[in-house]
Amino acid sequence: MSWISDVYAAVQKIVLIEDRLESVATQVQSLSASQVELDRRLIRLEAKFELLERMAAPSRRALPEKSEK
């Protein structure tokens, strides 16, 4: 009967490992979705800063005046 209890314990461990793997897979999917959302937000912020930099820079420089020689 000892081997039966060993087999039962091994199967029980396998089932517990499988449950933990499913839990980890769910957490990874959640983290992946969060990362994608953060990436989108970062891209939007970068675009806003680039727009602000362009607006703050002098638009067009005047052509240099001809020097009289």
Rounded CA gap, 32 and 63, in Å?
Answer: 52
Confidence (pLDDT) at 57: 81
Specify the higher pLDDT residue, 69 or 51: 51
Cβ-count burial 36-56 (b if 16+ within 10 Å, e if not):
eeeeeeeeeeeeeeeeeeeee
State pTM to two decimals. Answer: 0.57
Confidence of residue 38 (pLDDT cuts 50, 70, 90): very high
The residue ranges of every structural domain in the chain are 23-52
